[in-house]
A and B are shown apart, each in its own frame.
Chain A
Amino acid sequence: MTRDAATGRTVEQSAGNGPPPGEPLLVAERLTKHFPIMGGFPFQRKVGAVQAVDGIDLAVHAGESFGLVGESGCGKSTTGRLLTRLLEPTAGRISYRGQDITHADRKALAPIRSEIQMIFQDPYSSLNPRQTVGAIISGPMEINRIRPPGGREARVRELLETVGLSPEHYNRFPHEFSGGQRQRIGVARALALDPRLIVADEPVSALDVSIQAQVINLLQRLRAELGIAFVFIAHDLAVVRHFSQRVAVMYLGKIVEVGDRESIYVRPRHPYTHALLSAVPDATEFLAEGAGASHVDAGYAGAGEGAGGGPAPGPGRIRLAGDVPSPIRPPSGCRFRTRCWKARDRCASEEPPLAPIPGNGPGHLTACHFPEDPTTARGEAVILDPALRGGGVAKAHGVEG
């Protein structure tokens, strides 16, 4: 995975942004989190488990941004909380710079807590409304008894400037700020202890479009200037693509595909990755016409021909049927098989390992028995939803429900 630089120009560029990736900063192996379900009679006991995260492997290198995408219930947020050890794993191992922190207690975690910080989705509820901005940002320094040269207040004012707020905001309260500014306060708080890694859980999804870009730019600048590595968790594939050099796609507690940006967005192999990319609505499909430029490698971005009397089925449209199954009783074998158009008997009996498969570039791992071709250009539509026009055609396609 350290040979990312060989796979494409975007990665090459990213490698120049931060410190060169060497030893991974954070490694998770077979990381698992099951939340128990209580029930039974007459005395409550564990009767099952929500398999939120089920044996995932990942490594985050210094200075890189590692993206985690997936739909609700895929376990990406739980993964974020496990990596920051806000949750304790049920099984597996997490090590930070070679040190095992899987079950480390508060005391052992203390020095690491300052190096791994978290940014949350909701800038409204993650800030204490009764604290001043200064108190919020200096909080982590107080807890960890850190006294920066020049004093905490000077450091807070410096941090405010770093995140694009005014140092005069020191004595204000969170409610005096807009959503985007509040998220900046959250970022400043995360920066207070000079972290090496920030786990950002949907940091921009609560913000308006025009404000999103401001916060993404800020995070990008922090990564470039301070060399902070990110685990960037989001459901928005375009945002993740923009910010992360390597991306893992999660489905029902498993990583189904991981690789550098090019691999995931241009040469995806897993059917679920294909379905996700195909589902992203794209506002820029018409821009090419106006600008007179071509949109050749747009892939799925250009696939959905929409306007003019309702959406016509695009050439490569993929529409899944139904919803994600319950993580309490996930499907056997490959968890995606119940919604997959390529599923066969083997998929139910044998779980595909996350591994390099023939045709993948270096560092590109796919967990699939019957992968798709490494392209986003697709000849015919896959419409599994029976309610949609063309849904019947896909059934003849050989779909096993």
Chain B
Amino acid sequence: MLRFLIRRSLGAVVILVLISAITFFLFFALPADPARLACGKNCDPASLALINENLGLDKPIPVQYGEFMVGIVAGRDFPVGHCDAPCFGYSFVNQEPVWPTIVDRFPTTLSLALGAAVVFLAVGVGLGMIAAWRRGTWIDKLFSSLSLLGQSLQVYFVGVLCLAWFVSGLSIMEQPAYHPITENPARWFSGMLLPWLVLSLIFMANYSRMTRSQLVEQLHEDHVRTARAKGLSGRTVFFRYAWRGAIAPIVTIFGMDLGSLLGGAMITEYTFTLHGVGRLAVDSVRLTDLPMLMGVMLISSAAIVVFTIVVDALYAVIDPRVRLA
């Protein structure tokens, strides 16, 4: 297991370096000039040169990339001062250091992702199990129609409707906003409730369908028939045998979904005007803010890569046939 984790972590570092390099060089292939953007409307060549120097944009691109990567590991000195590791540089747009900005935004994203994940995992999988248990009945058919409907919904549509109904119209819900859980857990909860419900609505449909189909498939497996032939009750067979076999694929998909959610649920954050990592990513793309974009990209990629490794490691726990080395 340890060997597996070490080897996969090494692989993950390689992947992240590749992603950073690709992002970096693609960025400079863009026609926009970041120094000019940072310089603002009334820009004269002198201040442009100064900005270029301050941000290190006057050096060759590979050197810039090298300095950037070194900065992440060891910190870096800019003309404006020292930037501690992990240093992703300063925003081209507002000259804020990148890493503290991301650290500042991350709790919002984390709250949104984890909260929604709890809801959609519990409800989605639960509905899927009910549908599989009652497969072929009207409940099953109702659930499958509902999940089809749920899958076709979009956050920006449902989100705006919910805001209009529950917040502005009926006033039974609070305007979504992030309040740190450490300060006021109740406000944190009520502020995130609507985004959680809306975001999980979309995922829930997917999970209930997947759970149902996995369980139904498992229920037709030979070893489930063997379990029935042993005289185990239908409930025991369902939970001990069929459900056990359905866990692995659900965990796989869940790991990937959670990873990408931690990278920022962009549309959701925009819809509910939450200032999370996803919104930061969109903004930095819009403003050609390379250091910020690089920071967000690497954090999102790292989240996905880490969760992939976690899922693979979980496989060894779930399935005794998988031996990690």
Contact B6 A42 (CB under 8 A): yes
Identity of the chain B residue whose Cβ is nearest the Cβ of A43 in the assembled complex = B7
Q: Once bound together, how far apart are the Cα atoms of A41 and B5, in whole Å?
A: 11
Identity of the chain A residue whose Cβ is nearest the Cβ of B3 in the assembled complex = A41
Q: Tell me whether B325 is interfacial, beta carbon within 8 Å.
A: yes
Q: Which residues of B contact A42 (CB under 8 A)?
A: 3, 6-7, 10
Contact A41 B10 (CB under 8 A): no
Contact A39 B325 (CB under 8 A): yes
Q: Once bound together, how far apart are the Cα atoms of A59 and B293, in whole Å?
A: 67
Q: Which residues of A contact B3 (CB under 8 A)?
A: 41-42
Q: Which residues of A contact B7 (CB under 8 A)?
A: 41-42
Interface size class of B (residues with CB under 8 A): under 10
A99: min CB distance to chain B, Å:
44
B253: min CB distance to chain A, Å:
27
Q: Once bound together, how far apart are the Cα atoms of A39 and B7, in whole Å?
A: 12
Q: Once bound together, how far apart are the Cα atoms of A39 and B3, in whole Å?
A: 11
Q: Which residues of B contact A41 (CB under 8 A)?
A: 3, 7, 325
B3: min CB distance to chain A, Å:
5
A142: min CB distance to chain B, Å:
39
A337-375 CB contact bits vs B (8 Å, 1 = yes)? 000000000000000000000000000000000000000
A337: min CB distance to chain B, Å:
30
Q: Once bound together, how far apart are the Cα atoms of A41 and B6, in whole Å?
A: 10
Q: Which residues of A contact B325 (CB under 8 A)?
A: 39, 41
Identity of the chain B residue whose Cβ is nearest the Cβ of A44 in the assembled complex = B7
Identity of the chain A residue whose Cβ is nearest the Cβ of B4 in the assembled complex = A41
Identity of the chain A residue whose Cβ is nearest the Cβ of B10 in the assembled complex = A42
Q: Once bound together, how far apart are the Cα atoms of A339 and B217, in whole Å?
A: 40
Q: Once bound together, how far apart are the Cα atoms of A39 and B325, in whole Å?
A: 8
Within B1-45, which residues are at the interface with A (CB < 8 Å)? Answer: 3, 6-7, 10
Within A291-326, which residues are at the interface with B (CB < 8 Å)? Answer: none
Q: Which residues of A contact B6 (CB under 8 A)?
A: 42
B298: min CB distance to chain A, Å:
23
B293-325 CB contact bits vs A (8 Å, 1 = yes)? 000000000000000000000000000000001
Identity of the chain B residue whose Cβ is nearest the Cβ of A42 in the assembled complex = B7
Q: Once bound together, how far apart are the Cα atoms of A41 and B4, in whole Å?
A: 9
Within A38-69, which residues are at the interface with B (CB < 8 Å)? Answer: 39, 41-42
B59: min CB distance to chain A, Å:
35
Q: Once bound together, how far apart are the Cα atoms of A141 and B119, in whole Å?
A: 59
A122-142 CB contact bits vs B (8 Å, 1 = yes)? 000000000000000000000
8 A–B contacts from the bound complex (CB under 8 Å): A39-B325, A41-B3, A41-B7, A41-B325, A42-B3, A42-B6, A42-B7, A42-B10
- Apart from A41-B325, A42-B3, A42-B6, 5 more pairs, CB < 8 Å: A39-B325, A41-B3, A41-B7, A42-B7, A42-B10
Closest 8 A-B residue pairs measured CB to CB? A41-B3, A42-B7, A39-B325, A42-B10, A42-B6, A41-B7, A41-B325, A42-B3
List residues of B whose CB falls within 8 A of some A CB.
Answer: 3, 6-7, 10, 325
